[in-house]
């Protein structure tokens, strides 16, 4: 008799048994979503460095009984002594350590800083304004989220079963809006702080739209500009001295310290990485920041994000809302960038700006700059805009970090 009992007990630990239990179908669907992401990454080349870890993380985290994504449970005793009751699964531990704490996006930002050349921006500082204009998409989508929440029966804050998913609609709105910054690490950092339940869909939306830049942007750019505007030739960028490049990160940091401390984790790490690159005496550290460390963190970050793709949040009408609002944010950001470039040409016609580079203001480095370059080349095969577009492109990174700083400072106060 004991033989059959043992067999039965073993059967009850199998995945098949787990999938047949309550909520098991959600796991199956999420594993399918994970596999779809892996397929898109390998076959279609969509951001493979991130989507493969995310996809695999989604598969691993939805295995019944394995509890790979479970979090460590701690109790704090009366004397303040912290004891660990149950250790979480390995992806759960990655998540606790790096995503919930905001550590991974910051390390990635350091790597981005070490890879970024701010030279084109220093040569033509006014392109910074294009990076500011393109952030309008963020705030537009934020407002759009608040409007969507008014629709009866559609709520970002409370799930259908009454679970509270976020502190307030503003917390969700800020996180969805930041997709429009087209900057993965910034979006993750902000969402982990404001509405961690939505990390999965928001991270996937942010990275998917970054991969789709070459499809989303050109029609908008062409619709808003005339052929003559697209052919505008820009003056060659002046040479930027080494001293300027070294002093630049320090100045940006000081400015951020004085005006917007809530953005200093992001901007600080970006500028730290950039200083490592530019100061010439820390080549080893710069190399580690942009290669080994960045790759390590990307693996752990991807797996953690995949673990947040739970059926509970993902298989929901709100996910469609997030994808839609993210797309709108992106398109509006592209449009306002182009429009501001046109306006600047009206105001100071002396050294004209090709309005196409305004679209590069939505970060997504360096994809957006390449798109601006390509659309320009389509119009005039001798007009290379890449270096000019890198200015607003890196300005967009700073711009979205500043926007994130504003959201992190304002939302918790106004949202209550």
Partner 1 sequence: MINVGLIIMAVGMLVVFAFLTIMVVMMRAMSGLILKFFPEKEEPVPVRAASAGADDAEVAVAIAAACSL
Binding site for partner 1 (CB under 8 A): 121-122, 125-126, 128-129, 131-133, 135-136, 138-140, 142-143, 145-147, 149-150, 168-170, 173-174, 240-244, 247-248, 251-252, 255, 259-260, 395, 398-399, 402-403, 406-407, 410-411, 414-415
Q: Return d(Cα 331, Cα 135) in angstroms, integer.
A: 11
Closer Cβ to partner 1, 54 or 148, answer by number: 148
Beta-carbon contacts of 86 under 8 Å, excluding residues fewer than 6 positions away, are 70, 72, 73
Q: Considering the complex, state which of residue 80 and residue 416 has its C-beta at the smaller distance from partner 1.
A: 416
In the complex, the smallest distance separating the C-beta of residue 347 from partner 1, rounded to whole angstroms, is 14
Minimal distance, residue 173 CB to partner 1, in Å = 7
| Residue carrying the six token digits 């209550």 | 416
Q: Which residues pair with 261 in a beta bridge?
A: none
Beta bridge partners of 340: none
CB of 403 to partner 1, least distance (A): 5
**Distance spanning both ends of the chain, measured CA to CA:** 60
Rounded to a whole number of angstroms, the minimum distance from the CB of residue 106 to partner 1 is 20
Q: Are 56 and 46 in contact (CB under 8 A)?
A: no
Output 140 or 207, the one with its CB closest to partner 1: 140
Question: Which stretches of 212-347 are DSSP H helices?
Answer: 213-224, 227-230, 242-259, 264-278, 283-290, 292-307, 311-314, 317-347
- DSSP-based three-state secondary structure for 72: coil
User: Given the complex with partner 1, which of 247 and 377 has the nearer CB atom?
Assistant: 247
Cα–Cα distance for residue pair 401/99, rounded to 1 Å:
17
**Which CB atom, from 39 or from 143, has the smaller least distance to partner 1?**
143
Alpha helices in 12-82 (DSSP H): 15-20, 24-44, 48-61
Q: How far is the CB of 121 from partner 1 (least distance, A)?
A: 8
Nearer to partner 1, 40 or 407 (CB): 407
326 contacts 140 by C-beta, under 8 angstroms: no
Q: Rounded to the nearest whole angstrom, what is the least distance from the CB of residue 250 to partner 1 in the complex?
A: 10
């Amino acid at each position: 008799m004991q033989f059959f009992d043992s067999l039965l007990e073993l059967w009850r630990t199998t995945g098949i048994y787990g999938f047949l239990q309550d909520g098991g179908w959600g796991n199956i669907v999420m594993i399918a979503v994970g596999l779809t992401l892996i397929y898109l990454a390998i076959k279609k080349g969509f951001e493979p460095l991130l989507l493969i870890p995310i996809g695999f993380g989604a598969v691993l985290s939805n295995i019944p009984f394995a509890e790979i994504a479970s979090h460590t449970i701690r109790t704090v005793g009366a004397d303040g002594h912290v004891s660990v009751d149950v250790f979480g699964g390995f992806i759960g531990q990655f998540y606790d350590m790096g995503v919930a704490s905001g550590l991974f996006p910051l390390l990635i930002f350091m790597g981005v800083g070490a890879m970024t050349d701010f030279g084109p921006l220093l040569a033509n500082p006014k392109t910074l304004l294009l990076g500011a204009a393109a952030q309008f998409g963020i705030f537009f989508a934020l407002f759009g989220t608040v409007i969507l929440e008014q629709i009866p029966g559609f709520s970002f804050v409370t799930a259908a079963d009454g679970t509270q998913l976020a502190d307030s609609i503003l917390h969700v709105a800020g996180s969805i809006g930041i997709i429009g910054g087209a900057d993965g690490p910034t979006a993750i950092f902000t969402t982990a702080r404001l509405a961690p339940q939505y990390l999965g869909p928001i991270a996937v939306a942010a990275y998917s739209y970054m991969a789709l830049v070459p499809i989303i942007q050109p029609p908008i750019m062409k619709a808003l500009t005339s052929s003559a505007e697209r052919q505008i030739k820009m003056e060659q960028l002046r040479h930027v001295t080494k001293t300027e490049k070294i002093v630049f990160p320090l100045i940006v940091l000081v400015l951020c310290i004085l005006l917007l401390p809530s953005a200093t984790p992001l901007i600080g790490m970006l500028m730290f990485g950039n200083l490592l690159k530019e100061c010439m005496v820390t080549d080893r550290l710069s190399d580690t920041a942009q290669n080994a460390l960045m790759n390590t963190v990307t693996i752990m970050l991807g797996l953690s994000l995949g673990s947040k793709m739970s059926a509970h949040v993902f298989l929901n009408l709100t996910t469609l809302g997030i994808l839609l609002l993210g797309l709108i944010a992106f398109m509006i950001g592209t449009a306002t960038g182009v429009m501001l470039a046109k306006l600047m040409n009206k105001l100071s016609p002396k050294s004209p700006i090709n309005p196409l580079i305004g679209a590069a203001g939505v970060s997504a480095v360096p994809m957006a700059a390449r798109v601006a370059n390509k659309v320009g080349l389509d119009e005039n095969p001798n007009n290379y805009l890449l270096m000019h577009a890198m200015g607003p492109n890196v300005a967009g990174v700073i711009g979205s970090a500043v926007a994130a700083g504003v959201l992190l400072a304002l939302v918790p106060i106004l949202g209550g």
